[in-house]
Structure 1
Amino acid sequence: MATLFPNEFVYSGFMKPSRFEGDIFELEVEGEVPAHLDGTFYRVGPDPAFPAKSGKDIAFNGDGMVTTFTFRDGHVDFKSKYALTDKLKLERAARRSLFGAYRNPFDDDPSVQGQIRGTANTGIQLHGGRLLAMKEDSPPLEMDPITLDTVGYTNFGGKLTSKTFTAHPKVDPKTGEMFAIGYAAKGEATRDLAYYVISPDGEIIHEAWLEAPYSGMIHEFVIGEDYVAFPLTAVTSDIERLKKMDVHFRFDPSKDSYVGVLPRYGRGDEVRWFSGPNRFAQHFANGFQEGRRMHLDAPVAHGNAFPFFPDINGAPFDEEKSLCRLTRWTVDLDDNECKIVETVLSPATGEFPIVDDRWQGRPYRTHFMMVQTPGQAFAQGKKMIFRTIAKIDVTNGETIYHTGPDEVIFQEPIFIPRSPEGPEADGYLAFLITHMTGQQLSELWLVDTADFAAPPIAKVKLPIRLRPGLHGEWYERSFIEQQVRIGRARAGANLMTSDR
């Protein structure tokens, strides 16, 4: 039977799979792209190649589509290619879905039991000579940073012993080291957490194993100069639920929130877990150390913010409690009671925060976040629709909004520095928009952070519609070229060994 996507929300309208692979040279531009921008915006998101095995699924369970926008001399070129995971190769051979529901291996076709079922659809990172497409239920998938051809899953020369790897690694801008975790590191719904430090040339130089207080999502973490901190909130998993074909994650309002703090190069038995009230928080865009205190900044809700991860008791989705406000969690290593102290930094409500990554793990001032603003539509099922981005000063709460017209929706932005050595948050936000009318074509908008509320300085137009993506990164051309050299040097040194 030929492929036909069902008339479900995740396969319809602006969510309809694009499945476009190809190059578009010289995109149309309305306005002016700054001529000094010389680099590439890498982006990844779920774009199902086949309908779900059951006909229904959540939007996050799609095959990873990696896209790039390459800037040079005021011009922009585009490339799009699937992350060719083991899952996608097997399903292409069968011309149908073989893998079942989101993160449930018990729902897979018997022919693919035991295969890596990751989709490489959540995060993208260029580090140590590898372009990594990542989803946190599997090892990272390496792709060529220029052609986007898939190399294959990497285990960092055999040193990655965890079954899973974060979709949100953190890179220290001073040392060039990359920090990573894997939760459910010994298999789905386990409490095991693996922690890694990876050198600038792509070698794992430190590993630690520890156990979380309960089995749940640790989607992101933060780094400081001496410590790392792992936040655990009540989006829980349970192996018995999976065996019953229930959803993987459910929000449990009875669970406390936790932050585990570990020295940067610490052993697993050195972790200290700090507790706080039941909260929802997943995207920790930044954190930093202040003496013996660690600060973690994220949009935080007093209830479940993701309706596709339902309440464990079947309670209805509470829209008021789902609203996330930019909040700082502070843990003090001299606090014998090990409690989380919570401070709201802005009344703006939203999700998907970013910062200037040159200040990653250091005291900073500016936080960008996609928000719902007064007068905008908000309803269950449309929770992830945004038309506004906030620029928030975390030192005083001052907030400036950039708002688009009602007929477009925004995707998560990235920050591009005006110059590599320039001040914090001085540069541009780049983000995709989708027109909700007509052919629903996509555009890439550039907003100058120095005049944040003003209209975009450039609108880069695509002749296609891109399905909403997840996360992305900006890299200067000189850095990309350096990473290509590192990757080629390692490939030459490892001709007689396997890294996969």
Structure 2
Amino acid sequence: MKFPNTPSFTGFFAPSGVEADVKHLPVVQGEVPADLAGSFYRVHPDPQFPPLYGDDIWFNGDGMVSRFSFRDGNVRLQQKWVRTPKFNMERAVGHALFGAYRNPLTDSEEVKGEIRGTANTNVIAFGGKLLALKEDSPPVLMDPDTLETIEAVYTFNGQLISETFTAHPKIDPKTGNMLAFSYAAKGLLTRDMVFYEITPEHEIIKAIEFQIPYYCMMHDWGITEDYAVFHVVPSTSDWERLEKRLPHFGFDKRKPIHLGVLPRTGNATAEDIRWFSAPNCFASHVMNAHNVGTTVHFDTPMAEGNMFPFFPDYEGAPFEPLKAQSRITRWTVDMLGNSDEIKMERKTELVGEFPRIDDRFAGFKNRYGWLLSQDMTKPVDLPGGRSAAGMMMNTIARIDLETGESDSWWVGSVSSMQEPCFIPRPGSTEEGDGYIVMLENRLAEMGSRLLLFAAMNLAQGPIATIQLPFRIRSGLHGNWTPETALAA
């Protein structure tokens, strides 16, 4: 019952298993604005038991949700595992039952056919409820105040028509509705998709079913005022890979990419979706999208080659780090145009990923975006010259999409950073008027700190640095919810 001595389970990525409630975190530098009231929820994979077959990729761990509550200049930390069906079944027997990432062929016989989700990818408060998400399974419903699991399989009161649900829902700033999708909606490796629109009362008012050109890891997507936008990039799989126990996804350089644009307005159906194409490349997360009439702009960190070494080349080619460098690129298509090609325009030379915006502008034209960046001109004072993840996200950057200018702050030679999240300043309406909150990975000392920045002036450094009492494992995504929304 030992965790393996591999990169996914040692160093900063060593399992933690800490559930906690710390009422007052020390602010070791600066001050937390007294009028900042709300919660930053985020989640990371944290396996409660060693993997069934000796090793696995690091983000196949059980979901551990952290809540940082801000009020009157104080920050409180709560942290708790999500009690998924998988978590409960394994805890009952005291060891792992489910096998490799996204490969049910490797599961123990007694759990064949059970829901395998770990709820470890994103967490978002919506309509007074907290949803923990992973894209291969339904949401898990949690209490936003206590982090207790309420429903291990949440189907929006039986309205969910897919086996899966996105880890990247979007909130329409005009209507307040949640927009979401499911891929592999009718089962593992299927091309079936569903687009959803959901009210704050958790009523599904739209569910449009369609198919994508080929099965892929559709991790993120975009919305505009009038359209839903889906990018199909060849991190793909098939049953032969799973039977050979290869990593679930592999990057197939032989396939083109596609962009599907589905009208959101009127009585649109699956027949109204239009597909555009471009030569092979890589893109995963999405900064934002917007439309001007029938012209759709889609901003994403794009790389020439595969960015994920843990999902290797389909034909066994070696990983190419230089081709894995992604830069924010605008993809543009016209729903009434004669061409099915995707036009591409690079918006910045910064190498980075995990882009975020002021979410009050989701689906509308935004000027600013924040992202983790790799500044390769800065020193790295760690063994091997890299972080536990193989990349050194050592800079938080803001880019101006209109001017191309950027504003950034380097975290130092022995730390890296996790995904940023934008917090609007209470009472403000101007884009970018607010804060950036994020976790710092103190790699040299195996610790963590919470950093708070003025969103429009990153270069000055954190306006508040909050010390954490234990290491928080590298995570994926999170979101801010104001206290007024939780109270409502």
Superposed displacement of residue 382, structure 1? 4.2
Superposed displacement of residue 420, structure 1? 4.0
Helix, strand or coil for the counterpart of 2:422? strand
Superposed displacement of residue 129, structure 1? 3.1
Instruction: From the superposition, tell whether residues 474 and 215 of structure 1 become closer, same or farther in structure 2 (CA, over 3 Å).
Output: same
Superposed displacement of residue 423, structure 1? 1.2
* 2-structure distance, mates of 1:342, 1:95: 51
| Conservation of the 8 A alpha-carbon contact between 2:128 and 2:485 | no
Deviations 1:283-319 (A, max 9, x none): 0121111110111111100100110110001000111
Give the alignment partner of residue 407 of structure 2, picking from 400, 404, 411.
Answer: 400
* 1-structure distance, mates of 2:388, 2:414: 18
Superposed displacement of residue 379, structure 1? 6.3
* 2-structure distance, mates of 1:34, 1:88: 38
* 2-structure distance, mates of 1:206, 1:194: 10
Give the alignment partner of residue 450 of structure 2, picking from 444, 451, 469.
Answer: 444
| Conservation of the 8 A alpha-carbon contact between 1:128 and 1:203 | no
Q: For 1:161-310, what aligned pairs fall within 5 Å after superposition?
A: 161-264=161-264, 266-310=268-312
* 2-structure distance, mates of 1:466, 1:280: 29
1:33 to 2:32 alignment:
yes
Superposed displacement of residue 330, structure 1? 0.8
| Conservation of the 8 A alpha-carbon contact between 1:188 and 1:239 | no
Give the alignment partner of residue 18 of structure 1, picking from 2, 16, 37.
Answer: 16
Helix, strand or coil for the counterpart of 1:348? coil
Deviations 1:182-232 (A, max 9, x none): 111111111111111101221100001111101111111111111111111
Could you say which residue in structure 2 is the equivalent of 1:490? none
Superposed displacement of residue 118, structure 1? 0.1
Q: Which moved more, 1:37-46 or 1:267-276?
A: 267-276
* 2-structure distance, mates of 1:300, 1:450: 24
Superposed displacement of residue 455, structure 1? 2.1
Superposed displacement of residue 239, structure 1? 2.1
Q: Which moved more, 1:61-70 or 1:4-13?
A: 4-13
Deviations 1:465-495 (A, max 9, x none): 000111010111000111xxxxxxxxxxxxx
Could you say which residue in structure 2 is the equivalent of 1:355? 357
Instruction: From the superposition, tell whether residues 381 and 474 of structure 1 become closer, same or farther in structure 2 (CA, over 3 Å).
Output: closer
Could you say which residue in structure 2 is the equivalent of 1:9? 7
Superposed displacement of residue 381, structure 1? 7.0
TM-score for both structures, normalised by structure 1? 0.94
| Conservation of the 8 A alpha-carbon contact between 1:18 and 1:47 | yes
Superposed displacement of residue 454, structure 1? 1.0
Name the aligned partner's letter for residue 99 of structure 2.
G
Name the aligned partner's letter for residue 354 of structure 2.
F
| Conservation of the 8 A alpha-carbon contact between 1:192 and 1:212 | yes
Helix, strand or coil for the counterpart of 2:402? coil
Q: For 1:30-429, what aligned pairs fall within 5 Å after superposition?
A: 30=28, 31-152=30-151, 153-264=153-264, 266-376=268-378, 382-429=389-436
| Conservation of the 8 A alpha-carbon contact between 1:37 and 1:72 | yes
Superposed displacement of residue 353, structure 1? 0.6
TM-score for both structures, normalised by structure 2? 0.96
* 2-structure distance, mates of 1:381, 1:300: 23
Name the aligned partner's letter for residue 276 of structure 2.
F
* 1-structure distance, mates of 2:248, 2:377: 34
Q: Which moved more, 1:134-143 or 1:257-266?
A: 257-266
Name the aligned partner's letter for residue 151 of structure 1.
I
Give the alignment partner of residue 479 of structure 1, picking from 472, 478, 485.
Answer: 485
Name the aligned partner's letter for residue 4 of structure 1.
K
Give the alignment partner of residue 438 of structure 2, picking from 422, 426, 431.
Answer: 431
* 1-structure distance, mates of 2:426, 2:468: 26
* 2-structure distance, mates of 1:441, 1:381: 13
| Conservation of the 8 A alpha-carbon contact between 2:208 and 2:270 | yes
Helix, strand or coil for the counterpart of 2:54? coil
Superposed displacement of residue 55, structure 1? 1.4
| Conservation of the 8 A alpha-carbon contact between 1:307 and 1:380 | no
Q: Which moved more, 1:232-241 or 1:66-75?
A: 232-241
* 1-structure distance, mates of 2:105, 2:459: 49
Give the superposed CA RMSD: 1.3
| Conservation of the 8 A alpha-carbon contact between 2:387 and 2:416 | no
Deviations 1:213-260 (A, max 9, x none): 011111111111111111111111112211222211000011111111
Superposed displacement of residue 375, structure 1? 2.0
* 1-structure distance, mates of 2:209, 2:84: 27
Q: Which runs of 5+ in 1 are unaligned?
A: 483-500
* 2-structure distance, mates of 1:379, 1:252: 27
* 2-structure distance, mates of 1:175, 1:472: 22
| Conservation of the 8 A alpha-carbon contact between 2:422 and 2:455 | no
Name the aligned partner's letter for residue 375 of structure 1.
T
* 1-structure distance, mates of 2:450, 2:92: 34
| Conservation of the 8 A alpha-carbon contact between 2:407 and 2:457 | no
* 1-structure distance, mates of 2:469, 2:310: 31
Q: In the comparison of the two structures, how many residue pairs are matched? A: 479
Deviations 1:447-473 (A, max 9, x none): 112321012111111111000111010
Deviations 1:124-169 (A, max 9, x none): 1111332100000000111001010001211112111101100000
Name the aligned partner's letter for residue 25 of structure 1.
K
Q: Which runs of 5+ in 2 are unaligned?
A: none
